[in-house]
Chains A and B, each alone.
Chain A
Amino acid sequence: QQQVKQSPQSLIVQKGGISIINCAYENTAFDYFPWYQQFPGKGPALLIAIRPDVSEKKEGRFTISFNKSAKQFSLHIMDSQPGDSATYFCAALNYQLIWGAGTKLIIKP
């Protein structure tokens, strides 16, 4: 199965809170899991990525948690800021990138 299922579709978080977006996959051949961030009027841009040999990767306020046995991975945004308001896409790479449907994140001041 080549699908990547992303949830929730939309998310509202108070400033300073933790934003969590989840993704699940079926294909165990996926070997690279990036997250992209897209601001209105712009193309998606790579935010952070992880390979399945590690369970967590942190870059600043952004963390990917990876659960290989459950075939799930998630993006955590700590101390969420209004500037983090964007659409976030998870993806998984085998021969091609397979994309999740996206999560529209709104951070309320």
Chain B
Amino acid sequence: EAQVTQNPRYLITVTGKKLTVTCSQNMNHEYMSWYRQDPGLGLRQIYYSMNVEVTDKGDVPEGYKVSRKEKRNFPLILESPSPNQTSLYFCASSITSGRADGAQYFGPGTRLTVL
């Protein structure tokens, strides 16, 4: 089954404790992206990747890191989480490179709480 998977689905952590949210897609997509979703703010892009070893900042990259060592995986790293990073996070992928494809496939989301 074609899908984007994220782990963990739920995470409660404390300020400053490094964490990684994994994202994997099995569709051989070149483009992958991370979003955060907050009430009233819609979806805001954190980072995106056009292909392996190619990553770039989205609208709200501060406090986050990503890597794209393999085509299928795109982990999101919070080196020192803070309470303002409490949010619902989505990973997404789409087939094209060069520019984003409007048809993005989303993972199920990771709800992160930073105390």
Contact residues of A with B, CB < 8 Å?
Answer: 6, 9, 32-34, 41-46, 49, 89, 91, 93-97, 99-102
Contact = CB atoms under 8 A, between A and B. Distances in A.
A93 B102 contact: yes
Given A34-B102, A93-B100, A97-B102, A42 B108 contact: yes
Contacts of B43: 44, 89, 99, 102
Contacts of A44: 43, 90, 106
B: contact size bracket = 20 to 34
5 contacts: A41-B109, A91-B102, A97-B102, A99-B42, A99-B43
A82 to B, nearest CB: 23
Contact of B103 (A6, A9, A49): A49
B21 interface: no
B106 A45 contact: yes
Contacts of B99: 93-96
A91 to B, nearest CB: 7
Contacts of A102: 42-43
B57 to A, nearest CB: 11
Contact of A43 (B42, B44, B45, B106): B106
